[in-house]
Structure 1
Amino acid sequence: MSLFHAVVWMDHQQAQVLQFDAESVQAQRVKAHSHHPRHHGTDTRALHVFFEQLVGALNGVQEVLLVGPAGAPEEFKTWVAHHQAALLPRLVGTEPADHPTEAQLVALARRYFLKYDRMAGTPTPM
């Protein structure tokens, strides 16, 4: 089941994808295959595989908010621009955050999309 909005909390080792509407939240976790922190020489190929899996998890979602620490959301957007350009317009924003709870992530995303959709002049299908 694909929902209209999603928020993705991510770092370089994992991503938590929360698709949601007004009544429900669907959670999915995507993990990188490397066990080493990126700054200790994580294989670039493993990071690309992780990003590819994350793209797959976002299939069908129309608007995605990326959240996370250490530049991971921006690095993912850059990778998407070079490898999965069709997804780029659906990545509507990024927000910094360390380790929020699932409820905090959904609340942040709902506030974000309410403002985003109002500014774009489109009704929010939440």
Structure 2
Amino acid sequence: MSEFRGAIWWNELMTHDVVHAQAWYRRVCGWSFRTTPAADGGEYHVAYLGAQPVAGMLDISQMAHHAKTPAQWVTYMAVDDIETALHQAETGGGRIAREPFDVPHVGRIAIVHDCVGAPLGLIVPASAG
């Protein structure tokens, strides 16, 4: 078992209005943002508090499979093995929302809904290996 298992690894806002959301988080939290290319060819927005990255922001407005998804925060928790974690999630009453996928230099990720229906990201962090 790794020292990372169970740690909150990242938080990400999925939104249909990145510009409005960034303005709000700048005002309320004092965050600044840097935009980087995403693996899918789009953009990913990293929120910073000073020099420290604190969260991500993903524009889901052009993703057909998220057309009806409300804006929401998704927390990513570190796991040792994604397949084992998915099995444990399902046998514990959760369900898989998105099968595992790799994000270069970030890690292997899957999205589940926990036993009460809340979305949760599971990640085997690249830096943990």
Larger CA Rg, structure 1 vs 2: 2
TM range (shorter): under 0.3
Higher strand share: 2
Higher relative contact order (CA 8 A, sep 6+): 1
TM-score, normalised to structure 2, is 0.27
TM-score, normalised to structure 1, is 0.27
